[in-house]
Chain A
Amino acid sequence: MAEAKPDRRNGRTVSRGAHWIEWLTGGLCTALVAAMIAWIASNAVIGSDRAPDLAVRIIRQQANPGGGYAVSFVIENSGTRTAAAVPVTGDLKDGDRVIETHEVTFDYVPAQSSTTGALLFKTDPSAHMLDIRASGYVDP
C-alpha cells in the first residue's frame, strides 16, 4: 500500500510504505488467528457437559526378563474435561480371591486424549482374571 509518505528519519513509523509481503503475511496471520478463535468459540458453545470419561484397555502382557510380568494399558479420556491424579488399579483374581493388587497414578489424562502406562505383577496374569480400571480422579 503506497501511502506516498516519505520515510521519517527518526525511526520506525508504521506509515512507511508497506511492502506487499507485509500485507500477505498480515493477511495469512489474521486468517490463522480468526480460525483459531472460531475453533475455540465453537468448542465453547458445544462443549457444555464438562466431565472426564475414563476407560482403561489392556494392550499387551509380557514377561519381564528380570522376572515378573508387565501389563501395558491405554487409558482414554473421551470426556471434555481433563482428569488429574488418576489412579489406575489392577486386581489379579483367582475366583473371588484377590492374589495381587497394584496401582499407578497418572498426573493428568487430558480431555479427548489417551496415554499409556504399565502395571507390574509377580504372578502371570494370563493364568488368572485381571481387572484394570481407573478408580478416581481429581478436577485440575
Chain B
Amino acid sequence: MKTLGTSATGNRDGSGKSADAVTPAKFLVGIGRGVGGALLFALPMQMTMEMWELGFTMDRWRLVLLLLVAIPLLIGISHRIGFEETFSWREGARDAMIAYGLGIVTSAVMLTLFKLLMGNMPAQEIIGKIAVQAVPASIGALLGRSQLGGGKDDADDDPQPGYGSELFMMAVGALFLNLNMAPTEEMILISYKMTPWHALATILLSIALMHAFVYAVSFRGGHELSSDTPWWHALIRFTLPGYVIALVISLYSLWSFGRLDDGSFTPAMTAMIVLAFPGAIGAAAARLIL
C-alpha cells in the first residue's frame, strides 16, 4: 500500500487537466470508490462456497495463468474507461495495479471477516483463497472507481471506439459475469439436465438477446442502426463475434475452475453454452454500461 501513497502525491502532476489536479483527499476518495466497487462486484463470490474451495483445489498453473491474464485485462479496462483523457500506458498500469492491490486487500479482509482465513491454515490455502477472489474484486475496483465516480459520464464525448476495443469490452463484460457463475456447481448441473434441444434454444436465445440488447434497441451507448444498413451486417460484424467471445470466455472460465476435467467433448460444449448465456448478456451490457 505504500506505492499508493507515493503515486498520490507524485507523477500525476503536469499531465492531467488542471481542474482535476489530484490532491491526497481526492486520491483517497478514489480509493474509497475502488473499495466500494470491489465489494459491490466481488461480495457474491466472496460468499460462495465453491470459490473458497477453489483456493486450495484449483490447479496452481491455472491460477497463475488467471492472475497473469488479469494484468493486461485491467490495463485494458483502465485504458478504455480511464478518468483521464490523456492516457499513457504508465498511468494505465498504475491504475490497474492500484485496483489489483485493492482487490487483494478487500478480499483478504472479507475472507478474514467470514473466518475463512485462519493462522493455522497452510500458506498455500490462504494465498490461494485470496488470489482467486482478487481477480474479480480488482475488476470491480476499477469499474467502481469510474462508475461510482458520477459526473464523469463519458458516453457522449468518447472518441469513437475501434472494433478491437468494442470486442475487448464485450470480453470484459462476459468475463465478469462468468467469474461469478463458473465456479458454481449449478452451471454443470444445468448442462446435465438439458437435452440438445434445450442447448439449441439457449444458443438462439443468447444470440437474439445479444442482438436486441445493443443493436435493435437504441440504448445509450448502443449502436444506432441507420435505416439503410441491413440488420444482418451488425449481426455478422458485432453480435456473432461477441457471442463467440462469450463462448471462449465461458470455456476458459470453466477450464480454469476445473469444471471440464471429467467431461468429454459434448458435455463440455453444453456447459460452455449454458455459461455463455449470462456471458452474452454481460458482453452486450458491458458496452452500454462502460
Residues of A within 8 A of B (CB): 1, 3, 5, 7-8, 10-16, 18-19, 21-23, 25-27, 29-30, 32-33, 36-37, 39-41, 43-44, 47, 50, 82, 84, 107-115, 140
Contacts and interface: CB of A to CB of B under 8 A. Distances in A.
A5 B151 CA distance: 33
B244 A112 contact: no
B203 A40 contact: yes
B28 to A, nearest CB: 35
Contact of A36 (B192, B203, B237): B203
Contact of B200 (A13, A30, A41): A41
Contacts of A115: 262
20 contacts: A11-B160, A12-B160, A13-B226, A15-B226, A21-B163, A23-B236, A25-B163, A26-B236, A26-B238, A26-B240, A29-B241, A30-B236, A33-B240, A37-B200, A44-B196, A84-B192, A108-B188, A108-B192, A112-B267, A113-B264
A23 B235 CA distance: 11
Nearest to B193: A140
Contacts of A37: 200, 203
A39 B269 CA distance: 10
A76 B160 CA distance: 53
Contact of B264 (A21, A33, A110): A110
Given A40-B269, A41-B200, A44-B200, A14 B228 contact: no
B173 to A, nearest CB: 16
Given A14-B237, A29-B241, A33-B243, A50 B195 contact: yes
B237 A33 contact: no
B66 interface: no
Chain B's interface: helix, strand, loop or mixed, by majority?
A: helix
B262 A108 contact: yes
A115 B259 CA distance: 13
Given A82-B192, A108-B188, A111-B266, A14 B233 contact: yes
A16 B228 CA distance: 12
Given A14-B215, A14-B223, A29 B244 contact: yes
A110 to B, nearest CB: 4
Given A43-B266, A110-B263, A111-B192, 15 more contacts: A11-B160, A12-B160, A12-B222, A14-B229, A14-B234, A19-B163, A29-B243, A33-B203, A44-B196, A82-B192, A107-B185, A110-B188, A110-B192, A111-B264, A113-B262
B229 A23 contact: no
A82 to B, nearest CB: 4
B114 interface: no
Interface in B154-169: 156, 158, 160-161, 163, 166-167
A18 B203 CA distance: 26
Nearest to A25: B241
A8 B234 CA distance: 16
B224 interface: yes
A15 B185 CA distance: 43
Nearest to B271: A110
Given A27-B236, A29-B240, A41 B196 contact: yes
